[in-house]
Amino acid sequence: MNNLAFKTIKELKALVDSGAISHQELLKFFTDNAKKHEDLGAYLEIFDEPSITKECTFSGTLAGIPGLIKDNIAQKNRKMTCASKILETFVTNYDATAIARLKQEGAALLGRANMDEFAMGSSGETSAFFKTKNPWNKACVPGGSSSGSAAAVAAGIVPWALGSDTGGSVRQPAAMCGIVGLKPTYGHVSRFGLTAYGSSLDQIGVLTRCVYDNALVFSVIAGKDAKDASSLSVQQQDYTKNLTGKLKQNLKIGVVQEALDGQGLDHEIKKSVEQAIKELEKLGATIVPISMKTLQYGAAAYFIISRAEAASNLARFDGVRYGIRDKERDLNEMYKNTRHDGFGSEVKARILVGNYVLSVGHAGEFYDNAKRVRRAIRKEFNDAFETVDLLIMPSHSVPAFKVGTYDNDKLAMDLQDYFTAPMNLAGVPSLSIPVGFTHDKKPIGMQIIGAHLAEELIYQTAYAYEQVTSWHTMHPEL
Ligand code: GLN
């Protein structure tokens, strides 16, 4: 049974359906296996088997299929810490809509994935509890902020996981861990029950080892939700039905020139992305160069807008309603002490920057300008999708790096979002898929980006690519 770890959802379902393995055996295998890989730091908690069984109906699309949930998504009667001390003791009393839908389809929710504190980071290093390691190279980071979700899927701890993506936090760790990660169209997945970081950017996303599995889980969680006012009026549908292995007729893909020709892109990543583009061309796609002049401003605009929204969103953590509370009896002192002790330094820095860029006298220079840049970015995407069906960019500029590499270079760390944040600003969907390895066996990812609500076309294209390549079948030796 020890070969179950790297089976896809589709394969596990077939094993259960044929009677080769029972739901209970499956669950036991994965909870045991998770414990074997505790050293990766991918999860904050694996629930005990009886409580998982109690929560699970074992019937539906994901009947008994184990998955891990980033710890900023509410699972009723479980802790939700956002990997922060301030919420260390917090237990939520409701399910996020995505979680309710997963439960309705019988998914077995195994536990809570480690992450960067409040989803702020690109490396899994800002968790208040412990860092997550990259299963391909334990001296390196897995990317972030959905670090635990990505590492767990890559390591075979679970076949799927949920993450959240505000500026790249699903796609960048997916790329660094050699797996598939979707950042949906803004509003396509309900944010109800997702702890807000940058509300106009946040989306729950799916991490899996192959495209089919990703489309399957996405089909379960996507679609209109009355509990989220920003959720789009889209019916739930089956995103696996168009996975034929063929590309759409006359598919036109734009390759963002500034992304491939710009400085700072690792040459092995560039080579792998170019190779993947050739594969798509061989499959019948027409490849055209596209210029996106705003690309270079994406990370900066994201920096300002995300901090501004974070400063407002995190104001609710004051010791009154959630998590830890300082014993000081003076109210203002209690707020101050709770936040001082509860938040880590990355979170504090972002709250400071956020309040600064929104403050009288500075908002015009920073926040208002960032919003203008955002509009320009959105327009450039809209214009691009007038002429092409999809766009291609790398998912990351550098392969997984050693823990501590950017401790003294925050700017370099913030530039990790260079290729991913523009899609959050524009609200368009993007899928990162594995397209190769560096000479020292670090995974490489590439994004397939679509217009609003083009998830189906993205999946179809990615699936066709996957059928003629084998990157998704490789896994780390653990
Ligand atoms: N790396 C980005 C940041 O640190 C992205 C975070 C995210 O998408 N949650 O803000």
- Interstrand relation of 390-394 and 430-437 (parallel, antiparallel or unpaired): unpaired
Question: Could you tell me the distance, in angstroms and rounded to a whole number, from the CA of residue 115 to the centre of ligand 1?
Answer: 11
Report the residue among 71, 116, 406 best suited for mutation to probe ligand 1: largest number of ligand atoms under 8 A from its CB. Answer: 116
Question: Which of 346, 256, 340 minimizes the C-alpha distance to 306?
Answer: 346
Ligand 1 nearest-atom number relative to CA 170: 8
**pLDDT reported for residue 255:** 98
Map out the domains of the chain with their CATH numbers.
1-478 (3.90.1300.10)
Integer Cα distance of 435 and 273 in angstroms: 7
State which H helix or E strand residue 447 sits in: strand 443-450
- Asked if residue 67 has its Cβ within 6 Å of ligand 1, the reply is no
Write out pLDDT tens, residues 265-307.
999 999 999 999 999 999 999 999 999 999 999 999 999 999 9
Report DSSP letters for 193-262, one per residue: TBPPSSTTT-EEEEEESSHHHHHHHHHHHBS--TT-TT--------TTTT--SSPPTT-EEEEEHHHHHS
- Asked if residue 145 has its Cβ within 6 Å of ligand 1, the reply is yes
Residues of the chain with pLDDT under 50: none
Integer Cα distance of 334 and 327 in angstroms: 7
Asked if residue 430 lies in contact with residue 420, where contact means CB atoms within 8 angstroms, the answer is yes
| Nearest-CA residue for atom 1 of ligand 1 | 122
Question: Could you tell me the distance, in angstroms and rounded to a whole number, from the CA of residue 28 to the centre of ligand 1?
Answer: 34
**pLDDT reported for residue 263:** 81
Integer Cα distance of 240 and 212 in angstroms: 6
Q: Which residues are catalytic?
A: 70, 145, 169
Ligand 1 nearest-atom number relative to CA 122: 1
Report the residue among 186, 200, 306, 413 best suited for mutation to probe ligand 1: largest number of ligand atoms under 8 A from its CB. Answer: 306
Question: Could you tell me the distance, in angstroms and rounded to a whole number, from the CA of residue 228 to the centre of ligand 1?
Answer: 22
pTM, two decimals, is: 0.98
Write out pLDDT tens, residues 459-468.
999 999 999 9
Residue 431's φ and ψ, nearest 5 degrees, are -120, 130
